[in-house]
Chain A
Amino acid sequence: MTAEALIAPAPAPATFDPGAEAARATAAILHDTLHGTERGVVVDSPPGAGKSTLVVRAALELAEAGRPLMVVAQTNAQVDDLVLRLAEKNPDLPVGRLHSSDTDPYDKALDALGNVRKSAKAADLAGQAVVLSTAAKWAHVKVDEPWRHAIVDEAYQMRSDSLLAVAGLFERALFVGDPGQLDPFATVGSEQWAGLAYDPSSSAVTTLLAHNPALPQHRLPVSWRLPASAARLVSDAFYPYTPFRSGTDHGDRSLAFTVPSDGSGPDRVIDEAAASGWGLLELPARHTPRTDPEAVRAVAAVVRRLLDREGRATSERSPDPAPLTAARIAVGTAHRDQAAAVRSALADLGVTEVTVDTANRLQGREYDVTVVLHPLSGRPDATAFHLETGRLCVLASRHRHACIVVCREGVDALLDDYPSTEPVQLGTLVKFPDGWEAMFSTLDHWQQHKVSWRP
């Protein structure tokens, strides 16, 4: 969320029809992309607003219009996912997957697709209607004739210097991304360039808009992933100036468990989350190491009970309840060692199929239920890393049904002790909301869904 993306929210119509709103936004985006005069179009997409669907649709329409298209994504997993979605929509479209020369450079599922040609050399893929690869791989490609069009996916997670390396490959581009997720980072200091429009460590969209302020900017208004219970909080806390709505209403989705509660803390918080969409499992206040064993065990216990109690998720996707399987549950943490600790705690309880990862790696993923170890739980201090808005936003916006936050008591006092102290750099855009504010407003909301537990 950056100040430059500040667009006055359109007055909500008396009856909000999410489908129609989303269709209208998509139509405008596609019109600007296919028929606009500007060299770039920027689309802000809140979590689960159909960003990938938009990318696939735009790719298909550009391909149908006969415009050679390159697609730039940030990770190999994202590229493979887009290739599979493209093939699903149009199995005859000649697609090129440009990959690295490492071992296993792409998802083996691509081998089953007849229309997809794979190569480590861009020249081999000339003539394919759409060629997809990662920004890192594209940076090594040299062309005489640039592509007519490009789609840059996850553009807010792409670094400015990464765009610099590939921007010569295309004439025009559609930039799609979620401004609320984690900003790209550099492993060394880059204060030297703070305030420059082309600061290489800033996001690609920041640089693009600083140099081309007149580019059309669109916004997807509806989150299809987040339930009505979550969309409001996530929108208010992380997208205060670009609000969005959920595509479903209260009551459209439900989560029920076959096995009744045994009255324990984990079971009570599961029931609270199933009923309200949020659950806060609060452990007693304590300063702990990062891999707080008690909190890690609590996370594992909640996951174990989620599986044991045989959840049934009902949603607009299927009229019949779908079982809540391990594949539909994820655990999110701030640090990798925390994720490793949770994995081994889960293994001790015999759970192996549940995804456990850091916020960085959970970006773009979707689950029915998520269990989050709060970034500030048990900490004696709050650093800029832990207060980063995007980190909490990713963790709190991966779920379709419910999100359970495991946290130690005392985070409110910690926030009082550590106000944001990020240095203000001249010429840089001030980000809204700041992480401190977002931490506070989410915690405040979660207090209403609190289950205190002393393991």
Chain B
Amino acid sequence: MSLITTLARLEAVRTGRAQPAATVRHRHLSDRPLVFVPLTTAGEAGAPLGALVGTDRDAPHLLVVPQPRDRDLRFAFLADLADIVLPHIEAYAESVEAAERTETDPETGKRVKVEVDLCADAAQLVVPSRAGIDFVRLLGRSMRFRRTAEQDPETPHPAPPRVPLLGRWLTHYGERARVPGSSLLLAMTDLLGRHWATGQSTLEDQHLGALLAWIAPENSPEDSPENSPQDSPEPCRTGAEAARRAELARDADGQLLCPPAGPATDPAFDNRLLAPAIERYDRARTALAAAEDGLEADDRLGALTAAEREIRELVDSRTRPTWDAVWRGLDLLRALPEGAHTEERWMRDRWSFTSHRDRILAGEPPQPRRDDAVTAANKLATREREQARLEAQEALDDPLVMAGRRLSGEAFAGEVVDVVMAYSESKRPSPRPLVTVRTDDRPHLGERVKVYRSLGGRPQTAEYVGPAFPDDTADGTEPGTGTGPGTTTDDGTLVLRITDKMGRGKEPEPGSVPEKGDLVCFTLFEHEQRGGAKLPDPEQTPWTHGGPPGEAAAVPEAADAQTEEDVL
């Protein structure tokens, strides 16, 4: 945790309110995000219990699996989910604009520009917490290798038609969420945690209710009017109290007032409410199956419907507070102005979305279970590059983030107190002006360390020459030769040599060199990331990495074989 985050958290503890950790919004938010609040069944990994999903905060779709162990009901749930999620995604996938992309021509090997379709916007998915992202990934993995009856008439348990496709999209979203700064699939706790610092640990911040209690305590669910007075004895004075109540407060029946954001449910809910309801549902279903005549069946169908409705109400009651909390979080985030580079990163998300659409349209098989060596290395390289890009862009977009970097010695801001024109010692001397900056920051500078500032959105490079001695040159040292690397004099005045972005002429272009009195901010980190080296194609995987994946990898993988445990 950086020093400035620690300070913000201490301040949050002292004031009882979350402190801003950003002055702008660092993630893109769609106008129509698809919010997905899933619940899973305790002890049954990958068995959904239900979900609220939709784009209308007042009218979410409630999907419920009344008996999560029943494969057919689970498939019905997934089919319903596909009917809501896929049309939303496809609406975005169908609206395209023309764009240019550089590709390697397969014949000449040259880099050429080709005109391609780019989706005008991408569908955004928002889940309450990081565990929700894992659940999206799990759902994707469980669905994408399924076979429909159409694909394989022999398959023993054919999946509903659109389920494997949903699995491929959710897999793509889950994988994209691992790219730093991406916004296709967002967790609300991560979003809020990025923009506010609370007085609790990051682990506790994973509880959406507690996190919101710190950020906006007056709106916390226990204070909302629909709760009975005995549930909310008095308004909470501090975020810590509100968060504690959000985490622990229970009603007379022992149920949490603020249910966990899921997908895991509270054991007290499972044991006291859900399990008996599912049992009643099972009994009603058995009774219906045993009905001997139509009249009896009608009655028992009524009982079954009632039992199912009861479970639906239970699931609704546990997901609705989280649903509202996610939308409240969206409100809070939308109140922040969007960071300048956010749109550029969203553009990458759009490319990612478009390329997955293209793979599906081209009839490619689902994503393999495991990455091959080259794909894994490419993904890691991309993510590291995006991480560095994100860190640089957030600092450039947001003075508060930059303040954190300045505090940790990775940047410095100050006033230009002197500019001396100088030239490089080459045949055609280029301008290399020496700029003296007075700063209160303590950057970790060493001799000839490169520093960067943003000049009209492009990085300008300078190198550190050394500390300046404005009054004290008595010992005969030149500026910058006085002390060793890594030290600045106590008055914090240092000399930089600007090395680029001054044009081709002998005189620097106007505005390209800071002037006396200018306020400047230089960073020790680069603003833009270099592209990495091109890795070999997977078919060219070298012997050190096991050689080419070979024929085996070319065949689309089958789903896991059935085991006895699979059949319940």
Q: Which residues of A contact B (CB under 8 A)?
A: 39-40, 103-104, 136, 139-140, 160-161, 163-165, 167-168, 186-190, 192-193, 196-201, 204, 207-208, 211-212, 336-337, 339-340, 343-344, 347, 352-353, 356
Contacts and interface: CB of A to CB of B under 8 A. Distances in A.
B535 interface: yes
Given A164-B377, A165-B533, A347-B483, A188 B387 contact: yes
B536 interface: yes
B544 A167 contact: yes
B377 A189 contact: no
A337 B444 contact: yes
Contacts of A190: 380
B161 interface: no
A202 B165 CA distance: 33
Contact of B384 (A104, A164, A188, A339): A188
Most buried by A among B180, B532, B535, B542: B542
7 contacts: A164-B536, A165-B535, A187-B387, A189-B178, A192-B376, A193-B371, A200-B377
A211 B487 contact: no
Nearest to A189: B178
Nearest to B391: A187
Contact of B380 (A40, A104, A167, A201): A201
B380 A200 contact: yes
B409 interface: yes
Interface of B: 178, 180, 370-374, 376-377, 379-381, 383-384, 387-388, 408-409, 444, 448, 483-487, 499, 532-533, 535-536, 540-547
B67 to A, nearest CB: 32
B444 A340 contact: yes
Contacts of A161: 376-377, 380-381, 535
B68 to A, nearest CB: 27
Contacts of B485: 343
A335 to B, nearest CB: 11
Contact of B536 (A168, A207, A339): A168
B487 A208 contact: no
A164 B444 contact: no
Contact of A164 (B370, B383, B542): B542
A347 B487 contact: yes
Contacts of A198: 372-373, 376-377, 545-546
- A-B pairs with lowest CB-CB distance, top 3: A139-B533, A167-B542, A161-B377
A339 to B, nearest CB: 8
Contacts of B377: 160-161, 164-165, 198, 200
Given A164-B373, A188-B387, 13 more contacts: A136-B533, A160-B377, A161-B380, A164-B536, A189-B178, A192-B178, A192-B376, A196-B371, A196-B376, A197-B545, A200-B377, A208-B544, A347-B486
Nearest to B532: A139
A242 B541 CA distance: 32
A198 B448 CA distance: 38
A391 B180 CA distance: 27
Contact of A352 (B379, B383, B484, B536): B484
Contacts, number: 108
Main DSSP-derived SS at the B contact region: loop
Contacts of B535: 161, 164-165
A198 B541 CA distance: 11
A414 to B, nearest CB: 19
A207 B545 contact: yes
Given A188-B387, A193-B376, A343 B545 contact: no
B182 to A, nearest CB: 12
Contacts of A167: 542-545
A188 B382 CA distance: 10
Given A193-B371, A198-B373, A211 B387 contact: no
Contacts of A168: 536, 540, 542
A164 B374 contact: yes
B484 A197 contact: no
Contacts of A201: 380
B521 to A, nearest CB: 20
Nearest to A173: B544
Contacts of A136: 533
Contacts of A347: 483-484, 486-487
A212 B544 CA distance: 7
Given A196-B370, A207-B545, A208-B544, A337 B380 contact: no
Nearest to B500: A103
A199 B484 CA distance: 41
Nearest to A204: B544
Contact of B409 (A40, A188, A340, A353): A340
Contacts of B533: 136, 139-140, 165
A356 B408 CA distance: 18
Contacts of B484: 343, 347, 352-353
B544 A344 contact: no
Contact of B376 (A103, A140, A199, A343): A199
A200 B444 contact: no
Nearest to A201: B380
Contacts of B536: 164-165, 168
A196 B370 CA distance: 9
Contacts of B486: 339-340, 343-344, 347, 356
A43 to B, nearest CB: 16
A343 B487 contact: yes
A163 B535 CA distance: 10
B384 A211 contact: no
Nearest to B445: A340
Nearest to A347: B487
A167 B374 CA distance: 12
Given A161-B381, A164-B535, A211-B544, A336 B376 contact: no
Contacts of B371: 192-193, 196
B545 A164 contact: yes
Nearest to B180: A188
A192 B379 CA distance: 11
Contacts of A200: 373, 376-377, 379-381
Nearest to B374: A164
Contacts of A189: 178
